[in-house]
Amino acid sequence: MKKQIAILGSTGSIGTQALQVIEEHPDLYEAYALTANNRVDMLIEQARKFQPEVVVIANEEKYLYLKEALSDLPIKVYAGADAICQVVQEKSVDIVLTAMVGYAGLRPTMAAIRARKVIALANKETMVVAGELINALANEYQTPILPVDSEHSAIFQCLEMQNSLEKIILTASGGPFRTFTMEQLQHVTKEQALKHPNWSMGAKITVDSASMMNKGFEVIEAKWLFGLKPEQIEVVVHPQSVIHSMVEFEDGAVKAQLGVPDMRLPIQYAFSYPQRVRSSFDRLDFMKCNNLTFEAPDTNRFRNLALAYEALNQGGNMPCIVNAANEVVVAAFLKDQISFLGMSDVIEQCMQRVPFIQVPTYENYVSTDAETRRIAAEIVINQMK
Ligand code: NDP
Ligand code: MG
Q: What is the pLDDT of residue 199?
A: 81
Q: Is the pLDDT of residue 385 over 80?
A: no
Question: Is the pTM here over 0.75, yes or no?
Answer: yes
Q: Name residues contacting ligand 1 (CB within 6 A).
A: 9-15, 36-39, 58, 99-101, 104, 122-125, 149, 199, 201-202, 204-205, 263
Q: Which residues of 283-306 are buried (b: 16+ CB within 10 A; e: fewer)?
A: eeeeeeeeeeeeeebebebbbbbb
Q: Which atom of ligand 1 is nearest to the CA of 124?
A: 32
Q: How far is it, in rounded angstroms, from Cα 171 to Cα 137? A: 29
What one-character DSSP code corresponds to residue 249? E
Beta bridge partners of 34: 7, 55
Side-chain half-sphere of 33: how many Cα atoms within 13 Å?
A: 31
Nearest CA to ligand 1 atom 43: 149
Locate all alpha helices (DSSP H) within 70-199, ordered by sequence. 81-87, 106-114, 124-141, 150-158, 182-185, 190-193
What pLDDT, in 10s, does the model give residues 62-116? 999 999 999 999 999 999 999 999 999 999 999 999 999 999 999 999 999 999 9
What pLDDT, in 10s, does the model give residues 164-209? 999 999 999 999 999 999 999 999 999 999 998 888 899 999 999 9
Q: How far is it, in rounded angstroms, from Cα 32 to Cα 166? A: 40
Q: Which atom of ligand 1 is nearest to the CA of 102?
A: 32
Percent of the chain residues topping a pLDDT of 70: 100
Q: How far is it, in rounded angstroms, from Cα 12 to Cα 34? A: 11
Report whether 134 contacts 224 (CB < 8 A). Answer: yes
Mean pLDDT of 225-252: 97
Q: What is the pLDDT of residue 196?
A: 84
Numbers of helices and strands, H then E, in the chain = 16, 11
Q: How many CB atoms lie within 10 A of CB 30?
A: 19
Q: What is the pLDDT of residue 384?
A: 82
Distance from Cα 217 to the centre of ligand 2, integer Å: 9
Q: How far is it, in rounded angstroms, from Cα 66 to Cα 56? A: 9
Q: What is the pLDDT of residue 214?
A: 98
What pLDDT, in 10s, does the model give residues 20-56? 999 999 999 999 999 999 999 999 999 999 999 999 9
Beta bridge partners of 237: 172, 295
Mean pLDDT of 341-361: 98
Mean pLDDT of the chain: 97
Q: What is the pLDDT of residue 210?
A: 97
Q: What is the pLDDT of residue 198?
A: 84
> Residue 145: what are its φ and ψ, rounded to 5°?
-115, 115
Distance from Cα 285 to the centre of ligand 2, integer Å: 22
Element of type H or E holding 307: helix 303-314
Q: Is the pLDDT of residue 333 over 80?
A: yes
Which mutation among 13, 124, 170, 171 tests ligand 1's pocket best, with the greatest number of atoms within 8 A of CB?
A: 13
Question: Counting ligands in written order, which one lies closest to the CA of residue 36?
Answer: 1
Which value, in Å, is the radius of gyration of the alpha carbons in the chain? 20
Q: Which residues surround ligand 2, an ion (CB under 5 A)?
A: 149-151
Report whether 54 contacts 76 (CB < 8 A). Answer: yes
Q: Which atom of ligand 1 is nearest to the CA of 10?
A: 9
Question: Counting ligands in written order, which one lies closest to the CA of residue 59?
Answer: 1
Beta bridge partners of 76: 54
Q: What is the pLDDT of residue 11?
A: 98
Beta bridge partners of 98: 8, 121
What pLDDT, in 10s, does the model give residues 130-175? 999 999 999 999 999 999 999 999 999 999 999 999 999 999 999 9
Distance from Cα 149 to the centre of ligand 2, integer Å: 5
> Residue 8: what are its φ and ψ, rounded to 5°?
-90, 115
120: amino acid identity, one letter: A
What one-character DSSP code corresponds to residue 295? B
> Residue 196: what are its φ and ψ, rounded to 5°?
-80, 140
Q: Is the pLDDT of residue 338 over 80?
A: yes
